[in-house]
Chains A and B, each alone.
Chain A
Amino acid sequence: MRFGVKVWTALGATVLLGGAATIYTLDAMAGNPTRARPDVTVAVDHSGPPDLLEPGRLLFRTTAPGPDHGKVASVALADPGGPRRISQLACDRFHTEAGTGVCLATAPGLMPSAVALRVDERLRETERVEVAGIPSRAKLSAGGRMATWTTFVTGDSYTQGTGFSTRTAILDRRDGAYLSNIEGIPLTVDGRPYQAEDVNVWGAGFTADGSRFYATVSTAGRTHLLEGDYDAWTARTLAENAECPSLSPDGRRLAIKKRVSDDAARPWREYVLDLETLRETPLAETRSVDDQVVWLDEHTVAYELPRDGGSDIWAVPADGSGAPRLLVPWGSSPSVTSRGP
């Protein structure tokens, strides 16, 4: 083949392959939920924005297709399927406690980075922290003092090994202390002091007084439930194979997810762990729950399950009885304002 012919062939191939790549990408972009036409079956309440001080409201992230995809919304807990009030605050994870909120959102830009916001009762930003990685979990302690969040951080080409880790941060509103990555906490595993380079911590949550926290720690190929002492700054493992703990309102139980199957498509099952006896109760939800659940009250937990193009919020009794029920279609990241009088 003459050189000129080769050059033309190469140019032709470039145009062809570039065209295919462009068409595929544009088609995929058209599938972005924010560009999709709004789902008319989702009723919207235009009477006002969500208010975190209003009791009896379920706050969540709306995942319905349309321009509001990803924004924080609220519905009446008494009528969770009813019309939703929608805010202008877009988050990947949202959690509310005591009239304040924490919002973990993907930051626009080329590198995967995020921003964690503390917001007031009208969802106005009061504090902003730049965070590396991709949003995963965010939680406030009861009373709203402690905020913690987790992101996934990935290295790039020159980073060998798994190229993947988690970072969990703690923001203490009382004294403004901020820890961007808590994995260096002195750690006791199975009763022995433990140090390793591959320690990852994720999915933390605090007790109401902010003195203790529960989280997941993974190292040497195992995951453990971790109990941290914030004031003494030490941590120990309580149980193996338990992730994303969520403390019940009475502070005596933890909802956790356990890896129960090697099937990567559905590995999780939700349990409730009694902190005193360490007895585990499987919940009636048998589908794979990959979420840090929240407690709606002493008897019920809520969590998200994926659906085509988004997710739904489900609820199930915390004692293993009953059956899961659909709480909010097209939603994720649930949490509740105070129950009110």
Chain B
Amino acid sequence: MYIASARETGLEARPDGAGRRVAGNVFALGAVSLVTDVSSEMVTAVLPLYLVLQLGFSPLQFGILDGLYSGVTAFVRIAGGTLADRWQRRKLVAGLGYGISAVAKLGLLGVTGSATSMGLVLAADRTGKGLRTAPRDALISLSSDPGTLGRAFGVHRAMDTVGAFLGPLVAFLLLWAVTGGYQAVFFVSFCVATLGVVLLVLFVRDHREPVDRRSSVSPRAAFGLLRDRGFRRICGWAALFGLATVGDAFVYLLLQDRLSIEPAYFAVLPLGTAGIYLLLAVPLGRVADRIGRWKVFVAGHLALLAAYTLLLGAADGLWLVVASLTAHGLFYACTDGVLMAAAGPLLPAGLRTSGLAVLQTGQALAKLASSVLFGAAWTLWGMRPALYLAAGALAVVVVAALIVRPLRAERGAV
């Protein structure tokens, strides 16, 4: 079983006392993510405005561009994971990803009005993001004691979210100071992204594992990991949960629809989720280490189910906003890093990047499908029936997971 082999292939087993600390490499990766997220969220916050107001793109053109390149990342991710494992150069591949995205920010400065060149720049940015995610998570996983993975991912995700908080703030501050200052936003974003790359180069240590034969690392081998029962189950269930998860945008739209929230506050809603996530990522990571990551992962979906129930009418007014955003943030804190922490130890160290890439891709595709389906249901039957459907589906999956307990062995193994 991979659980056994993962231990043998040198997850540095430390005495319990030392293992309680989060590895320096995780903090380094967290700092890189924080800085990089400031940069990328700056652009994310202003790009729609820039494209539509400055360049005269129609919202549809922008929607197509956006959707197209979200799809691109799914496949780049597998390729990046395989390359990182094959060369055993996770830092290099992650750095390549960070670097490409940084250069893409500079590319934004040069784009003026052509949909094709804007498409290329966005594709480069997304490719960079796709490349870096799996090697980064693999490095976190390989640098940490298997017993405290939940906490390690919690620390990383909390730092990452700080960046996501700051990015839009910096961007709008700049736009406020510089009339029509999109170029300034892009340039500052490029500087910040470059700093992220510098931090990565200086402070992140690579983690190399001896691999039997290089040829044994390939996309095929990556998917071959699914032959392992434990990993296959985690991927299958993660995808199943992903299918029953409504996209974040819909949650905020529902909230706004229920409460006729003053438009000025609409942009603040996602910050509520992010704030709770930020506060709870580390504590829940620790809980996950103690009582079992899969349990916490499932509990996170219970929180999401609670959020849907609240949205369906279980609460109203300010109470609805606070409770549903808390539940939504709790869902993220219980699932985002925790899933990677649960999956990491199931994968052989030499193929960890590939495995995490397969898991992330499956989950991402499932969420994409659910967004499309939920959007269609909303259009066909209206908001409430669509949400009933989503809540019902989620309830079924949660109950099934509680009955089947697909990863019963996980607690003992990790």
- A174 on the B face (CB < 8 A): no
Tell whether A162 pairs with B58 under 8 Å between CB atoms, given A9-B202, A132-B262.
no
Tell whether A159 pairs with B252 under 8 Å between CB atoms, given A24-B187, A110-B176, A264-B55.
yes
Complex alpha-carbon distance, A198 and B183, angstroms: 29
Q: Which of B6-14, B45-53, B216-224, B403-411 contacts A (4 or more CB under 8 A)?
A: B45-53
Contact A157 B270 (CB under 8 A): yes
Contact with A along B220-260 (1 / 0, CB 8 A): 00000000000000000000000000011100110000000
- A33 on the B face (CB < 8 A): yes
- B274 on the A face (CB < 8 A): yes
| Chain A nearest CB, measured from B44 CB (Å) | 5
Contact B248 A200 (CB under 8 A): no
Contact with B along A4-26 (1 / 0, CB 8 A): 00100110011001101100110
Tell whether A152 pairs with B45 under 8 Å between CB atoms, given A10-B202, A132-B264, A264-B113.
no
Contact B187 A160 (CB under 8 A): no
Query: Which residues on the A side are within 8 Å of B167 (C-beta)?
Result: 157
| Chain A nearest CB, measured from B174 CB (Å) | 7
Contact B56 A265 (CB under 8 A): yes
Contact A218 B59 (CB under 8 A): yes
| Chain A nearest CB, measured from B110 CB (Å) | 14
Q: Which of B87-95, B190-198, B310-318 contacts A (4 or more CB under 8 A)?
A: B190-198
Q: Which of A40-48, A163-171, A206-214 contacts B (4 or more CB under 8 A)?
A: A163-171
- A32 on the B face (CB < 8 A): yes
| Chain B nearest CB, measured from A114 CB (Å) | 9
- A204 on the B face (CB < 8 A): no
- A191 on the B face (CB < 8 A): no
Complex alpha-carbon distance, A216 and B175, angstroms: 28
Query: Which residues on the A side are within 8 Å of B389 (C-beta)?
Result: none
Contact A162 B59 (CB under 8 A): yes
| Chain A nearest CB, measured from B217 CB (Å) | 30
Tell whether A264 pairs with B57 under 8 Å between CB atoms, given A10-B199, A155-B270, A163-B44.
yes
Q: Which of B71-79, B340-348, B351-359, B371-379 contacts A (4 or more CB under 8 A)?
A: B371-379
Query: Which residues on the B side are within 8 Å of A222 (C-beta)?
Result: 60
Contact B164 A157 (CB under 8 A): yes
Size of chain A's interface in residues, with CB distance under 8 A?
Answer: 68
Which residues 35-71 of B sit at the A interface, judged by CB distance below 8 A?
A: 41, 44-46, 48-49, 52-53, 55-63, 66
Q: Which residue of B lies closest to A35 (CB)?
A: B179
- B154 on the A face (CB < 8 A): no
Cβ-neighbour of A218 out of B41, B56, B60, B264 (below 8 A):
B60
Contact A108 B247 (CB under 8 A): no
Size of chain B's interface in residues, with CB distance under 8 A?
Answer: 70
Contact B178 A164 (CB under 8 A): no
Query: Which residues on the B side are within 8 Å of A197 (C-beta)?
Result: 253, 375, 378-379, 383
Contact A159 B262 (CB under 8 A): no
Give the total number of A-B pairs whose CB atoms are below 8 A apart.
Answer: 189
Contact with A along B158-190 (1 / 0, CB 8 A): 000000100111001111111101011001100
Contact A10 B203 (CB under 8 A): yes
Query: Which residues on the A side are within 8 Å of B271 (C-beta)?
Result: 156
Complex alpha-carbon distance, A161 and B44, angstroms: 12
Cβ-neighbour of A111 out of B172, B183, B198 (below 8 A):
B172
Complex alpha-carbon distance, A141 and B59, angstroms: 27
Query: Which residues on the B side are within 8 Å of A112 (C-beta)?
Result: 49, 172, 175, 267
Q: Which of B55, B191, B199 has the largest number of chain A CB atoms within 10 A?
A: B191
Contact B247 A161 (CB under 8 A): yes
Contact with B along A178-207 (1 / 0, CB 8 A): 001100000000000001111010000000
**Secondary structure type dominating chain B contacts:** helix
Contact B382 A28 (CB under 8 A): no
| Chain A nearest CB, measured from B308 CB (Å) | 17
Tell whether A14 pairs with B195 under 8 Å between CB atoms, given A159-B252, A195-B379.
yes
Contact A221 B202 (CB under 8 A): no
- B263 on the A face (CB < 8 A): yes
- A113 on the B face (CB < 8 A): yes
Contact B188 A155 (CB under 8 A): no
Query: Which residues on the B side are within 8 Å of A163 (C-beta)?
Result: 44, 48, 66, 249
- A78 on the B face (CB < 8 A): no
Complex alpha-carbon distance, A151 and B264, angstroms: 11
Contact with B along A256-273 (1 / 0, CB 8 A): 000100111111100000
| Chain B nearest CB, measured from A197 CB (Å) | 5
Q: Which of B49, B175, B177 has the largest number of chain A CB atoms within 10 A?
A: B49
Complex alpha-carbon distance, A191 and B49, angstroms: 33
Query: Which residues on the A side are within 8 Å of B59 (C-beta)?
Result: 162, 164-166, 200, 218
| Chain B nearest CB, measured from A218 CB (Å) | 7
Complex alpha-carbon distance, A157 and B271, angstroms: 9
Tell whether A21 pairs with B188 under 8 Å between CB atoms, given A134-B53, A290-B56.
yes
Complex alpha-carbon distance, A136 and B59, angstroms: 14
Contact A153 B202 (CB under 8 A): no
Complex alpha-carbon distance, A164 and B45, angstroms: 10
Tell whether A6 pairs with B202 under 8 Å between CB atoms, given A21-B188, A265-B113.
yes
Query: Which residues on the B side are within 8 Å of A341 (C-beta)?
Result: none
Contact A28 B198 (CB under 8 A): no
Cβ-neighbour of A28 out of B62, B184, B247, B263 (below 8 A):
B184
Query: Which residues on the B side are within 8 Å of A21 (C-beta)?
Result: 187-188, 191-192
Q: Which residue of A lies closest to B66 (CB)?
A: A162
Query: Which residues on the B side are within 8 Å of A288 (C-beta)?
Result: 56
Q: Which of A20, A25, A200 has the largest number of chain B CB atoms within 10 A?
A: A25
Complex alpha-carbon distance, A196 and B253, angstroms: 13
Complex alpha-carbon distance, A88 and B164, angstroms: 38
23 A-B interface contacts by CB (under 8 A): A17-B191, A17-B195, A20-B191, A25-B178, A28-B178, A110-B169, A111-B264, A111-B267, A132-B262, A152-B52, A154-B48, A157-B274, A158-B273, A159-B249, A159-B252, A161-B66, A164-B48, A180-B262, A197-B378, A221-B60, A223-B58, A267-B58, A290-B56
Which residues of A does B touch, CB under 8 Å? 1, 6, 9-10, 13-14, 17-18, 20-21, 24-25, 28-29, 31-34, 108-113, 130-134, 136, 151-167, 180-181, 195-198, 200, 218, 221-223, 259, 262-268, 288, 290
For the complex of A and B, list the 5 residue pairs with the smallest distance between their C-beta atoms, beginning with the closest.
Answer: A132-B263, A265-B113, A158-B270, A164-B48, A162-B63
Which residues of B does A touch, CB under 8 Å? 41, 44-46, 48-49, 52-53, 55-63, 66, 112-115, 118, 164, 167-169, 172-179, 181, 183-184, 187-188, 191-192, 194-195, 198-199, 202-203, 247-249, 252-253, 262-268, 270-271, 273-274, 371, 375, 378-379, 382-383
